[in-house]
């Protein structure tokens, strides 16, 4: 079972969304293998299917004046933020990889990130029963949101590496008002090379899902 990895660097959100949709359509037709796209975005706020406009705390005119895109998309979940220093991983995968179980797919993405954080930086991360994603204590370090069409996933995860956490004040992250957010940089106290994070996360994802 193969996994193709694409690393386009920094990409505008709409461009990455078009790439995902193209890859998903080709994966549905079984023209390509499962795909992991690892990249960063300029600042953007995205609203999932369950998002409410009130969870975007910037007025529309303020957001556009700051050059921040606000995009409603088809993934699950609520409002999230993407920006420089955050590793975004888009998964274009056939659900057969987890026996067609969406819940298991999400848990294995969480496991990949949890194992990466422990191995790379000794960060004791975990999951919470009531929330999707990866947590360090009371603070969220990685968000996960998917959409699925004809048994093939799209969207994926966002891991805070060197992310400017002040930007999360622009939103109510994932609709959760009572918890905070954190990053690898905040926990370790220093800038983290993104290339090393990409390499580790890609390796762990291959191990967890059983890709060659």
142 and 160 Cβ atoms separated by less than 8 Å: yes
Q: Looking at the predicted structure, is the pLDDT value of residue 44 above 90?
A: yes
Task: Name the phi and psi angles at 108, rounded to 5.
Answer: -75, -30
Q: Which residues contact 48 (CB under 8 A, 6 or more apart)?
A: 73, 74, 75, 76, 77, 78, 79, 80, 145
Residues 96-109 pLDDT 10s: 999 999 999 999 99
Q: How confident is the model at residue 61 (pLDDT cuts 50, 70, 90)?
A: confident
Question: What pLDDT does 129 receive?
Answer: 85
Question: What does DSSP say about strands 86-92 and 126-128: parallel, antiparallel, or unpaired?
Answer: unpaired
CATH code of 3-209, in short, is: 3.30.930.10
Based on the number of CB atoms within 10 Å of its own CB, is 129 exposed (0-12), middle (13-18) or buried (19 or more)? exposed
Q: Which residues contact 80 (CB under 8 A, 6 or more apart)?
A: 45, 46, 48, 143, 145, 158, 171, 173, 174
Based on the number of CB atoms within 10 Å of its own CB, is 29 exposed (0-12), middle (13-18) or buried (19 or more)? exposed
Question: What pLDDT does 176 receive?
Answer: 80
DSSP state of 208: H
- 102-121 vs 194-209: helix crossing angle, rounded to 10: 140
For this structure, is 174 an active site residue? yes
Instruction: Tell me what percent of the residues of the chain surpass a pLDDT of 70.
Output: 100
Instruction: Tell me what percent of the residues of the chain surpass a pLDDT of 90.
Output: 79
The model carries a pTM of: 0.96
Residue 163's SS3 state is coil
Distance CA 43, CA 34 (A): 27
Residue 66's SS3 state is coil
Considering only residues 209 and 179, tell me which one the structure prediction assigns the higher pLDDT.
209
Question: What pLDDT does 2 receive?
Answer: 95
Q: How confident is the model at residue 74 (pLDDT cuts 50, 70, 90)?
A: confident
Residues 112-144 pLDDT 10s: 999 999 999 999 999 998 899 999 999 999 999
Q: How confident is the model at residue 67 (pLDDT cuts 50, 70, 90)?
A: confident
Residues 148-175 pLDDT 10s: 999 999 999 999 999 999 999 999 987 8
* Residue tagged active-site, from 19, 174, 184, 202: 174
């Amino acid at each position: 079972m193969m996994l193709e990895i694409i690393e386009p660097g920094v990409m505008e959100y709409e461009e990455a969304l078009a790439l995902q949709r193209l890859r998903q359509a080709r994966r549905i037709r079984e023209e390509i293998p499962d795909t992991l796209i690892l990249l960063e975005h300029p600042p953007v706020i995205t609203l999932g299917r369950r998002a409410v406009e009130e969870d975007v705390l910037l007025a529309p005119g303020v957001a556009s004046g700051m050059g921040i895109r606000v995009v409603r998309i088809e993934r699950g979940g609520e409002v999230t933020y993407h920006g420089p220093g955050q590793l975004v991983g888009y998964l274009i995968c056939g659900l057969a990889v987890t026996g067609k179980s969406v819940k298991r797919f999400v848990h294995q993405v969480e496991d990949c990130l949890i194992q990466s954080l422990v191995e790379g930086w000794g960060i004791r991360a975990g999951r919470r029963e009531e929330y999707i994603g990866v947590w360090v204590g009371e603070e969220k370090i990685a968000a996960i949101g998917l959409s699925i069409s004809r048994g093939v996933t799209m969207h994926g995860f966002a891991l805070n590496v060197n992310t400017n956490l002040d930007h999360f004040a622009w939103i109510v992250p994932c609709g959760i008002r009572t918890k905070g957010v954190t990053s690898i940089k905040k926990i370790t106290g220093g800038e983290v090379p993104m290339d090393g994070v990409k390499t580790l996360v890609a390796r762990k994802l291959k191990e967890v899902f059983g890709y060659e």
